[in-house]
């Protein structure tokens, strides 16, 4: 449920690198093999205008950088029996010793939080014991490579995710890709304390967390069990609710007046209270949960 902006400079640079490295690898194949790949690709693209474009490799770039909607079209034409790209993924891209591999791609993308669930960190770390970099993510094929082997190396089909999401998804298909505009608007959270247990006061056990989602997001929620997974974060929701209730607008303004060096504005108070900057994409998990719950309190403060 976390959007990955295709127009970010890091993402554009990673896409360019991906095309260059795959092109270099394919160029080492025999001419007969390259032409076989070329024919399969232009058939999948359904683009007859590229029939005489073999030597320019523009066809390969168009294919590898096909957006999510184009990938959806191509998967419907996946009757072509070509295993080359899934073999390339498994025998080259997945190998640690390769000059370009999944680790290079994940590092180039620079993502820190799983875009499927927004719950867990993903990153590349240097481990001293073996003096090498290791990934804490797993690379998911949005359109599973077992079902759609020709799409195994398409850039927008390769999504770095947490182990929890990848183990739940496996070869299942979900409906919304993190590279699609508007994905964050397809799901939102609301939370409160249960009125039925008012005698026990504001207690973590009384937290009610609600997840609402559109039909477009249904497969993501069901396959990744997002509603169940977020039940694990009721302790966090409890903290958000109690802080938001105690530190109303008046108290936050008071902090700004009394400690101007520490809190020069209301935004800085919010940053210290909740541990993230809500004006831009955060490198911390659960940003969407925080934003949605706090939006209700901010609307009440502003009389909306």
Domain ranges for the chain, please list them: 9-169, 183-301
pLDDT cut 90: percent of the chain above it: 67
C-alpha to C-alpha distance for 194 and 179, rounded to whole angstroms? 36
Are the CB atoms for 217 and 175 separated by under 8 Å?
yes
Q: Beta partners for 192?
A: 208
Residue 19 has pLDDT above 70, yes or no: yes
Of residues 172, 218, 177, 160, the one with CA closest to residue 66: 177
Residue 56 has pLDDT above 80, yes or no: no
- For 33, the token pair is 């093999």
Residue 187 is predicted with a pLDDT of: 96
- Which runs of consecutive H residues, i.e. helices, occur in 92-149? 102-109
Map residue 141 onto helix, strand or coil.
strand
CA dihedral over 268, 271, 277, 279, signed as positive or negative: negative
Are the CB atoms for 23 and 88 separated by under 8 Å?
no
Residue 79 is predicted with a pLDDT of: 60
C-alpha to C-alpha distance for 39 and 271, rounded to whole angstroms? 54
pLDDT of 184-220, one tens digit each? Answer: 999 999 999 886 655 556 788 889 999 999 999 999 9
C-alpha to C-alpha distance for 116 and 83, rounded to whole angstroms? 27
C-alpha to C-alpha distance for 70 and 72, rounded to whole angstroms? 5
Average pLDDT, integer, range 215-234: 96
Are the CB atoms for 177 and 156 separated by under 8 Å?
yes
CA-based R_g, the chain, Å: 23
The angle formed by the CA atoms of residues 147, 150 and 153, to the nearest 5 degrees, is 105
Tell which phi-psi region holds residue 286, choosing left (phi > 0), alpha (psi between -120 and 50) or beta. left
Q: How many CB atoms neighbour CB 207 within 10 A?
A: 22
Predicted TM-score (pTM) of this structure = 0.91
Residue 280 is predicted with a pLDDT of: 66
Average pLDDT, integer, range 287-295: 93
pLDDT of 30-43, one tens digit each? Answer: 999 998 899 889 88
pLDDT of 103-126, one tens digit each? Answer: 999 999 999 999 999 999 998 888
Residue 277 is predicted with a pLDDT of: 74
């Amino acid at each position: 449920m976390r959007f990955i902006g295709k127009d970010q400079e890091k993402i554009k640079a990673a896409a360019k690198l991906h095309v260059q490295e795959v092109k270099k690898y394919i160029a080492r194949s025999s001419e007969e093999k390259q032409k076989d790949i070329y024919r399969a690709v232009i058939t999948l693209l359904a683009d007859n205008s590229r029939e005489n474009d073999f030597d320019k490799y523009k066809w390969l770039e168009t294919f590898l950088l096909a957006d999510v909607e184009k990938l959806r079209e191509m998967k419907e034409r996946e009757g072509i029996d070509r295993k080359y790209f899934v073999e390339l993924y498994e025998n080259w891209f997945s190998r640690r010793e390769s000059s370009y591999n999944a680790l290079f791609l994940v590092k180039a993308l620079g993502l820190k939080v799983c875009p499927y669930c927004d719950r867990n960190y993903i990153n590349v770390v240097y481990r001293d014991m073996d003096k090498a970099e290791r990934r804490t993510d797993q690379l998911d094929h949005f359109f599973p490579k077992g079902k759609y082997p020709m799409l195994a190396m398409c850039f927008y089909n390769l999504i770095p995710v947490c182990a929890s999401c990848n183990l739940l998804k496996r070869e299942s298909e979900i409906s919304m890709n993190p590279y699609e505009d508007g994905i964050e608007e397809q799901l939102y959270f609301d939370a409160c304390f249960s009125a039925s247990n008012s005698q026990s006061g504001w207690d973590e056990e009384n937290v009610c967390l609600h997840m609402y989602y559109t039909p477009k997001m249904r497969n993501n929620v069901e396959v990744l069990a997002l509603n169940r997974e977020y039940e694990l974060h009721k302790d966090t929701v409890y903290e958000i609710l109690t802080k938001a209730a105690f530190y109303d607008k008046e108290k936050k303004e008071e902090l700004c007046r009394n400690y101007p060096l520490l809190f020069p504005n209301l935004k800085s108070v919010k940053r210290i209270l909740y541990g993230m900057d809500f004006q831009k994409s955060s490198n911390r998990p659960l940003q969407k949960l925080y934003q949605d719950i706090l939006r209700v309190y901010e609307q009440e403060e502003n009389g909306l």
